[in-house]
Structure 1
Amino acid sequence: MLTKNTQVNRDQLEMITLDQLVPENHLVRKIEAAIDFSFIYKLVENMYSSERGRPSIDPVVLIKMAFIQYTFGIRSMRKTIEEIETNLAYRWFLGFGFHDKVPHFSTFGKNYERRFKDTDLFQKIFYRILKEASDKKLISAEHVFIDSTHVKASANKRK
């Protein structure tokens, strides 16, 4: 028998936290539990001024945005921001609430150009994360996987 949903509860009001909406087994919860990203503050403190300029976007948020992009295979920062705006698990991982404004997609690029370019910041972060994962026995050199997938670039859409 064909049944139509006659109850649409889109305007339903609930008292619920963002934490309750992110499944306990979601990958971002596992990453958050395994990696303490606060070490990033020490790595970037000399890249920011404490006396002038307007308040910055939290550098840990910027790095976590890139982490989301690469971990979940999102191809651009613009698309990553779109995903963060709608994906509650990503918002939770970044520490954003329901109504917090997500940074504009160009924010990461501008910070990269002005602060992070020509530094070894990302290399230091990568090695630190690997060290933490290794110390917690989350990775092993017993098996090595190499991904040689050929991904066709869509850089020139006019051809």
Structure 2
Amino acid sequence: MMSKEVDKNRGQIQFFAMDDLVPQDHMLRLVDKAIDWSFIYDLVEDKYSQTTGRPSMDPVTLIKIPLIQYLYGIPSMRKTIKEIEVNVAYRWFLGLDLRGPVP
């Protein structure tokens, strides 16, 4: 018998931890575990003003985005941003929530 109700679950509200959506053996989990990203803050600290200008984007995020592009062979930054918008593992790696904008 053919079922025609495949779309009925799309609007459901569900509670979950984003951490549960990314498999434990995912490559980005391995990368994130292997690298202590805090060194980036020390490298760029003198490039940011504490008193003037707008709030900046996290410099670690600025490094991780091109890393995703390289690791997954995405041909352009524009395409990378589009992929980050829909890929839960990429969002997890960058520390973004599911509904928030991609930098």
TM-score (norm 1): 0.61
Larger radius of gyration: 1
Contiguous gaps of at least 5 residues in structure 2: none
- Residue type of the partner of 1:70? Y
Where does 1:73-84 land on structure 2 (aligned, <5 Å)? 73-84=73-84
Q: SS of the counterpart of 1:23?
A: coil
Flag as ranges the 4+ runs of structure 1 deviating above 4 A: none
Where does 1:69-148 land on structure 2 (aligned, <5 Å)? 69-103=69-103
In structure 1, C-alpha distance between the alignment counterparts of 2:23 and 2:14, rounded to whole Å? 18
In structure 1, C-alpha distance between the alignment counterparts of 2:76 and 2:6, rounded to whole Å? 38
In structure 2, C-alpha distance between the alignment counterparts of 1:25 and 1:92, rounded to whole Å? 14
Deviation per residue, 1:17-70 (Å, 9 max, x gap): 111111111111111111111100001111111121000000000000011111
Quote the residue 2:54 is aligned against. 54
Label 1:46 to 1:23 Cα distance change in 2 as closer, same or farther (>3 A): same
- CA-atom RMSD in angstroms: 1.3
Contiguous gaps of at least 5 residues in structure 1: 104-159
